[in-house]
Amino acid sequence: MNFPSIHVASGVGRLTFRHTLIASTLLLTATLLPAERILFTGAMVHTVVGPVLSPGQVLIDGNKIIDVGERLDAKDARVVDLTGLRLYPGLIAATTTLGLTEINAVRSTRDTTEVGKFNPDVQSWIAVNPDSELIPVARANGITHIVPVPQGGLVTGQSALVALEGWTSESMAVRKPLALHLDWPDMSLNLIPKEQIKDKTKWKSPEELSKERQMELLQLEGFFHEANAYLRAREHGVRTEINPTWEAMRSPVKSEIPIVVKADDLRAIKATVQWAKTNQFRLVISGGRDAAMAASLLASNQVPVIFEHVFDRVLRDTEAYDHLFRTPALLHQAGVTLAISAGTGDSAETDIRNLPHHAAHAVAFGLSPEEALRTITLNPAKIYGVADRLGSIEKGKEATLVATDGDLLDLRSHVRHMWIAGHAISLETRHTRLYEKYRNRPPSP
Amino acid sequence: MKWLGLTSGIPFALSVALAAHADLSPPGHRPPAPDAHAFINARVVVDPSTVLTNATLVVRRGRIEALGTTVATPPDARVWNMGGASIYPAFIEPHWIQGGSGGPLNTSQFSPVQGSQPFTANGHYSFYGVPGDERDPGAPGVGHELSTITPERRIASQFTPDLKGNEELRELGFAVACVVPERGIIRGQSALVSLGEGNPNELLLKPDLFQHIGFDSESGRESSYPKSLMGVIAAWRQTFLDVRAHAEEQAAYQKSPTTRPRPTAEPALEALQPAEAGRQKVVIEPGSVLMMDRAIRLAQEMKLDIALMACGQEWRRPDILSQWRVPLIVPLAFPSPPKFAQEDDWQQVSLDALRGWDWAAENPALLRQKGVIISLSTHGLVDKSEFRRNLRKAIDRGLSESDALQALTLAPARLCGVEDQMGSLAPGKVASFMVIDGSGNYFDPDARLREVWIEGRKYATKTDAPAVKPDKDKPKADKGREIEKKRVARSPLEGRGPLAEPQAVLITGATVWTCGSAGNIENGSVLIVDGKIHSLGRVITVPPELGGKLLRISAEGMHLTPGLVDAHSHSMILGSVNESTLPSTAMVRISDVINSEAGTIYQQLAGGLTVANQLHGSANPIGGQNAIIKLRDGRLPDQLLLAEAPPGIKFALGENVKQSNWGDKNVTRYPQTRMGVRTFYLNRFTAARQYLASWKAFASTGGLRPRRDLELEALGEILEGKRWIHCHSYRQDEILAFLRLMEDFGVKVGTLQHALEGYKIADEIARHGAGASCFSDWWAYKFEVYDAIPYAGSLMHQRGVVVSFNSDSSDLARRMNLEATKAIKYGGISEADALKFVTLNPARQLRIDARVGSLEPGKDGDFVLWSKSPLDSTGRCLQTWIDGRKFFDRELDAQRTSVLSRERLALVDKAKLVANNGEPGTGSTAARAAFFRRALETSRQTEIQQCQDCQLPHSAP
């Protein structure tokens, strides 16, 4: 009785092989051809910065957009007809562990979290696996760029802007370093009742916990002061020996790159803003669970927020059930520059494909669709200082485009085409391959 | 010598009585004091309703001889002039753990699974590789195989007077205490002892007073059964069944010892016989208010005579206790508010914690108000000297002084069956009383308790000075007391329950998604009468008799769908979701631990969910029995159950049950491979088949009744087609192997839960007839889900499988409609079919589609109103109705939230005032630590509960 199943298996094998071949040919062609002028026509163009062109035209030359308008003069360009589709800039995952984890429960596939408290010289982009099966799945939902954030400790490391296209991790890291990442010390007191702690002697009163918290904050502040002292000493030639940890602090301390601080608790958000103000750092807050409670503080200090909790359950029993759903709208109203992210929590690297869904949920609870689109395109680009090349469909920007068959924020829409820096990208994934294989399984006898 | 009548001939006696017959004391010893005393000029509080002034109390040989205002002083009595001081009957402490921590019971803890020694045995809970398999699994010597079941343990046989403890209690006016065994589930038998000085024989008053049960999921060795609240209840249930089975087996053996096999020695079960027969009172400590209800119901099921230890949280559901007549032992341990370094730290303090603090002192008064008979206890007080101040707090909150006195004297006397001996002052009763100076009022903590007399013997107290230094601290203390007197917290039941309960409701103008044969109806109307769908369509006629009772809702532009159904939830379960110790825990029941107080109920109603299948976790191949509930917020657990739902049970395959991600220590429990999983099922189903056969044989030929085994009984119900399997499953190979084995046993599987690779064998699943309840798009969180694809639902649907999408998460359960939308995106099924993934299809899978899942006449009036299409990710749920009653209304939510926030702010203000003006002597470290104690019902408010909560350290969905 084994024969039929062997027969089926070999049939499936052939199918898969052919399918893979087509896909890889597409990818190769796209990458190897010389720069080409293409005119995209027929699509509704969501430029993000200006009005929606319906329909509009986008002209690209190689990796750059050279013109956008309702009717463009581009006689020599190859025309790609996108009638019935909508064109968007590529989506940016502002914080993620995509590329650093394959299967969360399998330890050997996790490269997210380093030990030690101070790791400014840890660089996330060098560990992004270009062949991760998770990357095509993210792309198939419109994501073209990610910021992989190292985890663990207080100063967790540096990130880069990583394009989800390229042969090597080196070529994918298109701007590096992009930001320094901090996990602000947990300002919440661990108020677990004594009897729920295994070792009762380990229980600490709020007073003791509060002292410990103070110590940790001093430790963090001290680290930045010392970094400053080191850098001054180097500049004045007082110090000749080199320390890679301190060296890695140069760009953030000099505000050449932003410092992205993960802060969820109100106390952490307030403390972070105060700290950045005192030291004149370029601050971005990620996480931002309680950001709505500090909205005016964040707005008046021009601190952008990468909000990671649109779908989360409220923490406090007096918060409205939709408090976190509404937080993006509240932050926007207050004048905070806002990005929405699926975050870096457990399994976030597989949930990242729902990034447009996260933004859409904010629309259901008060954010305008236009603004919601900005939170996953132009705003993250601005926050990271890469709006010169990404985030909108504008002349001079990178030809990174996504064509969908419906509103990008509508869960029912599909991404039909993608170009990253002018390269056409395959939308095939592990999922589509398995789907095709088993959809075509002959009825079982 | 009346005492002897109370005991079964165990030798003990009053020390005074002995002394009376004793020979002369040996030379060099101080001779015994004269045994007659007259207390004159006393104010005597005879009992809670009688006070005599200027009275005389005569005591002889440890008993009260006479009492009254005209009583003459006997010539041989030593005379004590009381000078107007008060005499109260001494108190009875009904629940004292000698030298114990006295902490509250923690029922929610989950211990990580640890390694074990393999050993084969034939015990009831013995499976290969689990703790408890050892040759002597319980305590050393003969006993029960579970080390937490020790009913044979007797305080009387190990009693040593705790002189320091006795003194501490005497300082508060106690003369007698019931010493109870600590820890465990069935803990053993308490003894009533005197708190005087003497040897054990002199002090033991009454052995084997009560049997004690605690819902204690923590004690016992790590990872030995049971480690969950539901497991504790199951172990209790099974043990009492075993008592009867063992007695019958013994009786049969005695009759024919030459032909019957010798029964094993079961001292534990034999020790439970008096309790099982209702001859010995059982004191139960359930640890949480919902478990109080459960304990009472179980005791009724087993016909036990019980008293309960209060948990201090009865204010959450006072309706529970008002419906039963069960005496309560009420500990007087109250929390104190904390002090914080930063103002913002108060953000961390929940309304629930503040309510717990503010209600605590009022709880005794509330119980009295509800007609509950209470006895007060010092249990839980680390520093016993807080007792009198806490008592005054309770009185400040409405407990009358006479009720308080009753609860310290006659009520515990009655509970302990000694009301003819003590509890009040009357001739013939034991001469145990206390003397109060100053105001002479015991309930004024500043009035000094000068001395305690126990059985005619005087014990002076140590405390000379009043606890409060009058001049300096008094004004501050008085201020603190005034602030604390007024309760600010509301009842958590306020604002819960149906927001509207019309007899009939008519919704018009909506786009109606019937999920039934009528399809979608544009501009449609739905009429619900008496909780059931009466009619629906484009135009419907309202029966004239409804006239005035009809609520009309105009829903132009809105969408109306059936209430959403979640086939896989763990959101409303108390304690651990997994009884993860044994590979088969078919005996545990989720219905024992439904959490009607979970905040997630409201959050999920706000997402349109109305029905949720509460499932045991996936830590073992055979998990516990499920419970299908309706989210009728505000009702008690048993009122949430969907009564007509057929019973089911959780099974699980793959990585979780073979402990793949539990760490390297967990490598001994059978099974460790997918091969073993199938073999394990083969073993248990064969055992169940034989179990059924043994009952069948008993029914036809009689003989000795087989032992009822709750595990095999549940599995037997599967074989009989009465119980549906909901099987957590991932890979195609394991699913096929499982389906085939079940087919061999003639069993049709209810649902494959998750069924991530089900799409690879859709035809086989369809042919078997199992439903598939999937995640919409979860994948790659562990190795066995690397091949999970979001197209799975559509693909199986297209091949004829009944498919639903489930949440398995208190997060996703709030937007099941949008999960359904993903079936359109991935695989392109129609919108109407996609919505059925979260309405009709899960209802069909759970076999409750005759009641819910679609809008059709005769079905339950469960529906949701949406601002847009339910499949539009920018739409919102506006209203949720169950049985024709409104349980969620978005328009009322802002009001609800602001009321709660205002209450919380007022409580924070009060807590700060009390913390800053608190009375010296209160607010001990222990009391302030107790502030952060969470009730079992609300302790997991913010956690997302999932199947694999058991998996440490790395939890995956």
Q: What is the pLDDT of residues A380-431, one digit of tens each?
A: 999 999 999 999 999 999 999 999 999 999 999 999 999 999 999 999 999 9
Q: What DSSP string describes A317-354? A: TTS-TTHHHHHHHHHHHHT--EEE---SSTTHHHHGGG
- Measured between beta carbons, which residues in chain A are less than 8 angstroms from residue B661? 105
In the predicted structure, residue B951 carries a pLDDT above the cut 80: no
Domain end among A390, A417, A434: A390
Whether residue A311 and residue B789 make contact (CB cut-off 8 A), yes or no, is: no
Helix extents (H) in B760-889: 762-768, 792-798, 816-825, 831-836, 840-845
- Measured between beta carbons, which residues in chain B are less than 8 angstroms from residue A186? none
Cβ-contact B954, A105 below 8 angstroms: yes
**Best of A132, A186, A431, A436 to mutate (most B CBs within 10 Å, chain B):** A431
Task: Report the C-alpha gap between A141 and B212 in whole angstroms.
Answer: 60
If asked whether residues A315 and A343 sit together in one domain, one would say yes
- Measured between beta carbons, which residues in chain A are less than 8 angstroms from residue B829? none
Distance between B62 CA and the closest CA of chain A, angstroms: 43
Q: What is the mean pLDDT of residues A245-271?
A: 97
Task: Report the C-alpha gap between B495 and B540 in whole angstroms.
Answer: 34
Taking Cα atoms as reference points, which of A185, A191, A346, A339 lies closest to residue A269? A185
Residue type, A9: A
Write down the domain spans for chain B: 92-485, 504-561
* Tens digit of each residue's pLDDT (9 = 90 or more) over B700-749: 999 999 999 999 999 999 999 999 999 999 999 999 999 999 999 999 99
Which pLDDT does position B602 carry in this prediction? 97
Encoding tokens for residue B9? Answer: 């001939």
For A434, which of B787, B954, B956 is closest by C-beta distance? B787
Which pLDDT does position B479 carry in this prediction? 80
- Measured between beta carbons, which residues in chain B are less than 8 angstroms from residue A138? none
Return contacts of B47-56, CB within 8 angstroms, 24+ apart. Answer: B47/B89, B47/B405, B47/B409, B47/B410, B47/B423, B47/B424, B47/B425, B47/B426, B48/B402, B48/B403, B48/B405, B48/B406, B48/B409, B48/B410, B49/B402
Q: What is the mean pLDDT of residues B765-769?
A: 98
Q: How many whole angstroms from its chain centre is CA B416?
A: 25
Taking Cα atoms as reference points, which of A156, A165, A317 lies closest to residue A248? A156
Which pLDDT does position B14 carry in this prediction? 42
Task: Report the C-alpha gap between B162 and B167 in whole angstroms.
Answer: 9
Q: In terms of pLDDT, which residue wins out, B220 or B526? A: B526
B104 confidence band (pLDDT: 50, 70, 90): low
If asked whether residues A137 and A247 sit together in one domain, one would say yes
Residue A445: cis peptide before it, omega within 30 degrees of 0: no
- Measured between beta carbons, which residues in chain B are less than 8 angstroms from residue A346? 781, 955-956
* Tens digit of each residue's pLDDT (9 = 90 or more) over B511-520: 999 999 999 9
Question: Which residue is closest to B936 within chain A, CA to CA?
Answer: A196
Cβ-contact B820, B791 below 8 angstroms: no
**Best of B311, B779, B798, B819 to mutate (most A CBs within 10 Å, chain A):** B779
Which pLDDT does position B321 carry in this prediction? 86
- Measured between beta carbons, which residues in chain B are less than 8 angstroms from residue A203? 929
If asked whether residues A385 and A397 sit together in one domain, one would say no
B10 confidence band (pLDDT: 50, 70, 90): very low
Which pLDDT does position B31 carry in this prediction? 81
What is the fold of B504-561? Urease, subunit C; domain 1 (2.30.40)
User: Which A residues, 8 through 27, put their C-beta within 8 Å of a C-beta on chain B?
Assistant: none
- This complex has an ipTM of 0.92
Cβ-contact B191, B201 below 8 angstroms: no
Distance between B866 CA and the closest CA of chain A, angstroms: 11
Average pLDDT of chain A to the nearest whole number: 91
Cβ-contact A176, A124 below 8 angstroms: no
3-state SS, one letter per residue, for B635-670: CCHHHHECCCCCCEEEEECCCCCCCCCCCCCCCCCC
User: Which A residues, 79 through 118, put their C-beta within 8 Å of a C-beta on chain B?
Assistant: 102-107
In the predicted structure, residue B470 carries a pLDDT above the cut 60: no
Which pLDDT does position A186 carry in this prediction? 85
Strands B36-47 and B78-81, bridge-based pairing = parallel
For A361, which of B108, B351, B873 is closest by C-beta distance? B873
Q: What is the mean pLDDT of residues A28-39?
A: 65
Task: Report the C-alpha gap between A387 and A381 in whole angstroms.
Answer: 5
In whole angstroms, how far apart are CA B280 and each of A111, B150, B185, B293, B408? Answer: 61, 16, 17, 21, 22
Taking Cα atoms as reference points, which of B483, B318, B595, B489 lies closest to residue B915? B483
B473 confidence band (pLDDT: 50, 70, 90): low
Which pLDDT does position B377 carry in this prediction? 97
- Measured between beta carbons, which residues in chain B are less than 8 angstroms from residue A444? 761, 763-764, 767
B107 confidence band (pLDDT: 50, 70, 90): low
**DSSP code of residue B126:** -
In the predicted structure, residue A60 carries a pLDDT above the cut 80: yes
Q: In terms of pLDDT, which residue wins out, B899 or A29? A: B899
Taking Cα atoms as reference points, which of B942, B865, B957, B950 lies closest to residue B351? B942
Q: What is the mean pLDDT of residues A271-291?
A: 97
If asked whether residues A159 and A73 sit together in one domain, one would say no
For A350, which of B781, B787, B934 is closest by C-beta distance? B781
Work out the angle at residue B696's Cα, subtended by the Cα atoms of residues B692 and B702, and round it to the nearest 5 degrees.
135
Which pLDDT does position B8 carry in this prediction? 39
Q: How many CA atoms lie within 13 A of B539 on its CB side?
A: 0
Helix extents (H) in B450-531: 470-485
Q: B380 — contact with chain A (CB < 8 Å)?
A: no
User: Which A residues, 315 through 374, put their C-beta within 8 Å of a C-beta on chain B?
Assistant: 315-322, 346-347, 349-350, 353-354, 357, 360-361, 363-365, 369
B783 — phi, psi (to 5°)? -65, -40
Q: What DSSP string describes A193-252? A: -GGGSSSGGG---HHHHHHHHHHHHHHHHHHHHHHHHHHHHHHTT---S--HHHHTTHHH
Per cent of chain B over pLDDT 90 is 79
Question: Which residue is closest to A194 within chain B, CA to CA?
Answer: B929
Which pLDDT does position B439 carry in this prediction? 87
Distance between B366 CA and the closest CA of chain A, angstroms: 24
Cβ-contact A260, A182 below 8 angstroms: yes
Report the predicted TM-score, pTM, of the whole model to 2 decimal places. Answer: 0.93
Strands B724-729 and B751-754, bridge-based pairing = parallel
B22 confidence band (pLDDT: 50, 70, 90): low
* Tens digit of each residue's pLDDT (9 = 90 or more) over B36-66: 999 999 999 999 999 999 999 999 999 999 9
* Tens digit of each residue's pLDDT (9 = 90 or more) over A131-182: 999 999 999 999 999 999 999 999 999 999 999 999 999 999 999 999 999 9
Strand partners, B309: B329
Please report which helix (H) or strand (E) contains residue B129, including its range.
none
If asked whether residues A106 and A140 sit together in one domain, one would say yes
Q: Is residue A35 exposed (0-12), middle (13-18) or buried (19+ Cβ within 10 Å)? A: exposed
Which pLDDT does position A206 carry in this prediction? 86
Strand partners, B269: none
Cβ-contact A133, A430 below 8 angstroms: yes
Q: Is residue A25 exposed (0-12), middle (13-18) or buried (19+ Cβ within 10 Å)? A: exposed
Q: What is the mean pLDDT of residues A287-294?
A: 98
In whole angstroms, how far apart are CA B348 and each of A266, B669, B716? Answer: 10, 41, 49
Strand partners, A38: A60, A78
In the predicted structure, residue B475 carries a pLDDT above the cut 50: yes
If asked whether residues A114 and A68 sit together in one domain, one would say no
Residue A291, domain CATH: 3.20.20.140
Task: Report the C-alpha gap between B630 and B848 in whole angstroms.
Answer: 12
Q: B938 — contact with chain A (CB < 8 Å)?
A: yes
- Measured between beta carbons, which residues in chain B are less than 8 angstroms from residue A431? 779, 789-791, 826
Which pLDDT does position B124 carry in this prediction? 66
For A435, which of B600, B791, B822 is closest by C-beta distance? B791
Question: Which residue is closest to A415 within chain B, CA to CA?
Answer: B825
If asked whether residues A203 and A323 sit together in one domain, one would say yes
- Count H helices, E strands: chain A? 14, 17
Task: Report the C-alpha gap between B158 and B177 in whole angstroms.
Answer: 16
**Best of A5, A98, A103 to mutate (most B CBs within 10 Å, chain B):** A103
Work out the angle at residue B819's Cα, subtended by the Cα atoms of residues B818 and B821, and round it to the nearest 5 degrees.
60
Q: Which residues contact B857 (CB under 8 A, 6 or more apart)?
A: B533, B534, B535, B536
Whether residue B954 and residue A369 make contact (CB cut-off 8 A), yes or no, is: no
* Tens digit of each residue's pLDDT (9 = 90 or more) over B332-391: 999 999 888 889 999 999 999 999 999 999 999 999 999 999 999 999 998 898 999 999
Whether residue B873 and residue A194 make contact (CB cut-off 8 A), yes or no, is: no
B102 confidence band (pLDDT: 50, 70, 90): low
Encoding tokens for residue A6? Answer: 């062997």
Taking Cα atoms as reference points, which of B310, B106, B312 lies closest to residue B217? B106
- Measured between beta carbons, which residues in chain B are less than 8 angstroms from residue A201? none
In the predicted structure, residue B318 carries a pLDDT above the cut 70: yes
Strand partners, B885: B882
Q: Which domain holds residue A419?
A: 1-90+392-445
If asked whether residues A181 and A308 sit together in one domain, one would say yes
If asked whether residues A105 and A84 sit together in one domain, one would say no
Q: Which residues contact A227 (CB under 8 A, 6 or more apart)?
A: A120, A246, A249, A253
- What is the three-class DSSP state of A9? helix
Which pLDDT does position A293 carry in this prediction? 97
What is the fold of B92-485? TIM Barrel (3.20.20)
Only one residue has tokens 């509800």, namely B370
Q: B780 — contact with chain A (CB < 8 Å)?
A: yes
Question: Which residue is closest to B765 within chain A, CA to CA?
Answer: A444
In the predicted structure, residue B136 carries a pLDDT above the cut 70: no
Q: What is the mean pLDDT of residues B639-659?
A: 96
User: Which A residues, 193 through 232, put their C-beta within 8 Å of a C-beta on chain B?
Assistant: 193-196, 203, 205-207, 210
Count of domains for chain A: 2
Residue type, A197: I
Cβ-based contacts under 8 A for chains A and B: 190
* Tens digit of each residue's pLDDT (9 = 90 or more) over B587-599: 999 999 999 999 9
* Tens digit of each residue's pLDDT (9 = 90 or more) over A80-95: 999 999 999 999 999 9
- Measured between beta carbons, which residues in chain A are less than 8 angstroms from residue B872? 410
Average pLDDT of chain B to the nearest whole number: 90
If asked whether residues A275 and A420 sit together in one domain, one would say no
Q: B942 — contact with chain A (CB < 8 Å)?
A: yes
If asked whether residues A297 and A307 sit together in one domain, one would say yes
* Tens digit of each residue's pLDDT (9 = 90 or more) over B489-510: 999 999 999 999 999 999 999 9
If asked whether residues A221 and A345 sit together in one domain, one would say yes
User: Which B residues, 660 through 679, put their C-beta within 8 Å of a C-beta on chain A?
Assistant: 661
- Count H helices, E strands: chain B? 28, 35
Whether residue A431 and residue B603 make contact (CB cut-off 8 A), yes or no, is: no
Q: What is the mean pLDDT of residues A244-263?
A: 97
- Measured between beta carbons, which residues in chain B are less than 8 angstroms from residue A318? 350-351, 897, 900-901, 903-904
In the predicted structure, residue B779 carries a pLDDT above the cut 70: yes
- Measured between beta carbons, which residues in chain A are less than 8 angstroms from residue B602? 321
Q: B783 — contact with chain A (CB < 8 Å)?
A: yes
* Tens digit of each residue's pLDDT (9 = 90 or more) over A330-369: 999 999 999 999 999 988 999 999 999 999 999 999 999 9
Which pLDDT does position B26 carry in this prediction? 83
